[in-house]
Chain A
Amino acid sequence: DVQLVESGGGLVQPGGSRKLSCAASRFTFSSFGMHWVRQAPEKGLEWVAYISSGSSTIYYTDTVKGRFTISRDNPKNTLFLQMTSLRSEDTAMYYCARKDYDYWGQGTTLTVSS
């Protein structure tokens, strides 16, 4: 079955940076667009970013534009989210999901706090 495994979360100070990864397996990664979706503690789901299969199309939610960068390495079947200028409000569980939201990873937790 399709597998998506996020990693890279942890505790970061405000203003710091972090890079999340999502390792994909058991499907043809290079054929699918991918999303990052986050969920703050005890809150709802919030879409963060999208990248098309060949990286030609990228979208971000307004609150992360200029601070987050989504990218992918198709030969390595890996999706990334480079996050800079982190704020307390970026604290959340971060999920990667396949283009049609049919498969999600288990999430990785990012905490931004001093």
Chain B
Amino acid sequence: DIKMTQSPSSMYASLGERVTITCKASQDINSYLSWFQQKPGKSPKTLIYRANRLVDGVPSRFSGSGSGQDYSLTISSLEYEDMGIYYCLQYDEFPPTFGGGTKLELK
């Protein structure tokens, strides 16, 4: 199975700050990577697919980049509503595997 190593596992950031979360795959996943946001008691919300494609309706402050084994999610200017847990997912091969999550909290 492909292992997804996500970092950091938690972080504190200030409003307006630029935030970057990374995921490293144990092998090349050919950009078959999605990013999700999850808030307490809610189901995951897809932000990015195919590494860098923004889902319709997701604010443009979110962006994804990367290739091969290394990927990142960037929030250009943090807003209060962005607090939550973020997960990456590789879907290049079965079984799909998630990163361990990044809990983003307000500083």
Contact = CB atoms under 8 A, between A and B. Distances in A.
A20 to B, nearest CB: 15
A50 B91 CA distance: 12
B94 to A, nearest CB: 5
B87 A95 contact: no
B98 A44 contact: yes
A16 to B, nearest CB: 25
B44 interface: yes
Contact of B46 (A44, A47, A102): A102
A45 B55 contact: no
A59 B34 CA distance: 20
B89 A101 contact: yes
A63 to B, nearest CB: 10
B98 A46 contact: yes
Contacts, number: 47
Given A101-B46, A104-B44, A47 B97 contact: yes
A30 to B, nearest CB: 21
Given A44-B100, A46-B98, A47-B95, A107 B46 contact: no
* Chain A contact patch, size range: 10 to 19
A59 B43 contact: no
A50 B94 contact: yes
Interface of A: 35, 44-47, 50, 59, 61-62, 95, 100-102, 104-107
Question: Closest 9 interchain pairs by CB?
Answer: A104-B43, A47-B96, A45-B98, A59-B94, A44-B101, A61-B95, A44-B100, A102-B46, A106-B43
25 contacts: A44-B87, A44-B98, A44-B100, A44-B101, A45-B38, A45-B87, A45-B98, A47-B95, A47-B97, A50-B94, A59-B94, A61-B95, A62-B95, A95-B43, A95-B44, A100-B34, A100-B49, A101-B46, A101-B49, A102-B46, A102-B49, A102-B55, A104-B43, A104-B44, A104-B46
